[in-house]
Structure 1
Amino acid sequence: MRSYAYLLASVLAFFMAIASALHIEVASSQNPAPVCIRDFVQEEQLVVVSIKTDGKVGDGQRLDLHIVDSIGNEYRRKNDIAGTLKVAFTSHHNAAFDVCFTNFLDRKYNENNKVFREVELEIESGSAARDWNAVQAAEKLKPVELELRRVQELTTEIANELQYLKGREERMRDTNESTNARVQWFSIGVIISLVGLGVWQIQYLRHYFKIKHII
């Protein structure tokens, strides 16, 4: 049973590592557009963003980093990054966040020469972002116990995510039902108004024709 749990934890960790690692090329320009990678994070969750770039400071390119969520919370802004950089923060809300790179080209260089920076990006959140070596040393856990602990926390995160999605679906269903009820009453009001307007027009025309002695 322990060997099966250890194998399961290893497979999960392997696929999580594959899914989170990205290699991107950020083109350099004098008026560049940001290149952003979006991920979703739960409230009060630890996030670690590991960045590795080629090039160096002063090579004619200035690579800027900006991390912000969809609500507007800014977690990190750093200009002219190069080499290896690691950013850790705790999320404030259940929201998507963007890791954006903007690569400015020095004006003394010809913009026709296509240059870019290669960026290796890895985003870890929740249990994947924790320093499990420190946890193992602090709590004196065996390797199998450590893997079981990781699987337990990962399972808890998945359960919390499902609970959040369930609550969101309930809110959306309530909104849809409320909207349908309002549309229904609005439609009834429009029909009553049209019927009343039609009756009034008939009465007005009858009165008009009587005055003119047409009928």
Structure 2
Amino acid sequence: MTRKFFSATVAISMLVLATTWFQPASAIKFELAGQEAGIATPQCISHYVDDETQVVIKIKVGSGPHQKVSVEVTDDSEHMNQLWKKDNLAEEMQRGAFETKRAGDVVACFTNTLADGYKPDPRYVRVVDVDFDIGSETFDYAKIAEAEKLKPMEVELRKLEDMVKDILEDMEHLQAREERMRNTNGT
């Protein structure tokens, strides 16, 4: 009995450890140069998201005088539906939450506009740190644990279950995509 319990505990521990090692990276940090108002060109990043999926984008902007950073998040449809927008991002963490209506890329475009009278210069740069939380990554497991009175191990199992669901959905998407590509190549 003790040996089976020990084996199950080791197996669960190894599974938890393996899933934490292979978490997909969904954060990026980059420098955004200041540009003159009216001619500022956005710098964009994108992330593929399935339809009807909860997304939380977290943005932290470094300090910089005489600069205003803005973000607009859209989907990649022909209409470029706006999902979230924020002007004049402050230095503290900004969060935007939305649910996608269709599968495709979610595109976040950033502009750094200089105040009137200031010209582009290498010293007018702001560091932008962006983190996409998608699907089960958006769940607040502390609140779930409190509401459902779950023990720590049950919370970890819930996280793993949600992560496995996300992986299965990704695999189904990739299989469907592979089939479409195979059919395209076969014609």
Q: Give the Å deviation of 1:90.
A: 0.9
Instruction: Say whether 1:42 aligns with 2:50.
Output: yes
Q: Give the Å deviation of 1:14.
A: 5.8
User: Aligned ranges for residues 1-215 of structure 1 at < 5 Å?
Assistant: 1-13=8-20, 15-16=22-23, 19-30=25-36, 31-55=39-63, 59-71=65-77, 72-83=80-91, 84-177=93-186, 180=187
Q: Give the Å deviation of 1:73.
A: 2.2
Higher RCO (Cα < 8 Å, 6 or more apart): 2
Indicate the RMSD between aligned Cα atoms, in angstroms. 2.0
Distance 1:14 1:101 in 2: 31
Q: Tell me if structure 2 keeps the 8 A contact 1:6–1:144.
A: no
Amino acid at match of 1:8: L
Amino acid at match of 2:12: A
Provide Cα deviations, 1:17-50, integer angstroms capped at 9, x if missing partner. Answer: 7x22322111101133212121111111111111
Partner residue, 1:183: none
Counting aligned pairs with the same residue, the percent is 31
More helix by share: 1
Partner residue, 2:5: none
Larger radius of gyration between Structure 1 and Structure 2: 1
Provide Cα deviations, 1:63-95, integer angstroms capped at 9, x if missing partner. Answer: 111101111221011211112200111111111
TM-score if structure 1 supplies the norm length? 0.73
Amino acid at match of 2:9: R
Aligned length: 175
Provide Cα deviations, 1:104-159, integer angstroms capped at 9, x if missing partner. Answer: 11231232453111112111111111111111111111111111111111111111
